[in-house]
Structure 1
Amino acid sequence: MRARRKLPKLAVAATVAGCLALAGTPAAVADANLAQEKAALTCGAGVFLDGLRALTVSEVGRDEVYITSNGAKIWPTTSTYVSMSAGQRVEVDKCVPVGAQLRLMEYDDLDPHDTIGGQTVTGDVTRDYEFCCGDGGRYRIGAVA
């Protein structure tokens, strides 16, 4: 009997949620707005590094990646690397100064410092930076100026 009373409430909640999803902002625009808010709150005149996406991995199955800025490791902060598969996206949420020399590195047992690619951060526009093609890996990171 208790379930019968909850079903109408659940149906109303699902209907309202569906209507909000149809009338709401597309997810990509919402993500971009959130990234811009984070950048404005945390970076000041710097550039906010948002999410890193693995377009192609350099090894079979997964890459173990980390990011350096001007030669110092900046991400991840709680481990040596982040293991990523093709198509996967992870949050970076780091601020770097305009002009920073970014390197996406791949860690493995033979050489813990393989470079997948590098970019120099410009601060004039919000854009994606691509790290390519060391050992065949290709990644993209969003940066909010």
Structure 2
Amino acid sequence: MRTWRKLSKLAAAAAVAGCLALAGTPAAAVADANRAQEKAALTCGAGVFLDGLRALAVSESGRDEVFLTSNGVKIWPTTGAYVSMAVGQRVEVDKCVSVGAQLRLMEYDDLDPNDTIGGQTVSGDVTRDYEFCCGDGGRYRIGAVA
């Protein structure tokens, strides 16, 4: 069943790329992006690929310093304590997590305990967006490819 779903996604991506080529959009760029997404999803095996995180609303004035945990362990970002995000900004996460993982989007604080913006449980076999809301007024969305 999972293989059939991946093949149908690939067929749909090819159809979209073909339609975009007719509309004058560079089909090669679209096809490359679709192949990269499929490859990333396939490397997760039975897990779920976390794609990009978008800030829909921030909890502090101007920017939030956010990081992501899975089952209580920080998984993103790997190069620092947090990523500073403004409303409308999107950043790549590019992480694999297991089905059933408890995700928490956290707001980093230097002196106080870190604040939870929101949490989600990853479900399997579904490509979807997860929303983290509304700790301190922050609201974020992350794409997940099953």
TM-score range (shorter-chain normalised) is 0.7 to 0.9
Partner of 1:65: 66
Deviates more, 1:101-110 or 1:61-70: 101-110
Q: 1:28 to 1:86 in 2, by over 3 A?
A: farther
SS at match of 2:24: helix
Instruction: Give percent identity, aligned residues only.
Output: 76
Structure 1: distance between partners of 2:114 and 2:106: 6
Structure 1: distance between partners of 2:123 and 2:94: 17
Which structure: larger Rg?
1
Aligned positions of 1:40-55 closer than 5 A: 40=42, 42-55=43-56
Structure 1: distance between partners of 2:34 and 2:67: 23
One-letter identity of the residue aligned with 1:36: E
RMSD over aligned CA atoms reads 2.4
Q: 1:116 to 1:36 in 2, by over 3 A?
A: same
1:28-54 deviations in Å (ceiling 9; x for gaps): 8875553232111x2011000000000
SS at match of 1:142: strand
- TM value normalised by structure 1: 0.78
Q: 1:94 to 1:135 in 2, by over 3 A?
A: same
SS at match of 1:22: coil
Structure 2: distance between partners of 1:120 and 1:51: 17
- TM value normalised by structure 2: 0.78
Partner of 1:35: 37
Structure 1: distance between partners of 2:114 and 2:30: 33
Which 5+ residue runs of structure 2 have no aligned equivalent? Answer: 1-20
On the 8 A contact 1:56/1:86 being kept in 2, the answer is yes
1:11-35 deviations in Å (ceiling 9; x for gaps): xxxxxxxx89814349888755532
How far the C-alpha of 1:130 sits from its partner, in A, is 0.2
Which 5+ residue runs of structure 1 have no aligned equivalent? Answer: 1-18
Aligned positions of 1:85-96 closer than 5 A: 85-96=86-97
Number of positions where the alignment pairs a residue of Structure 1 with one of Structure 2: 126
How far the C-alpha of 1:113 sits from its partner, in A, is 1.6
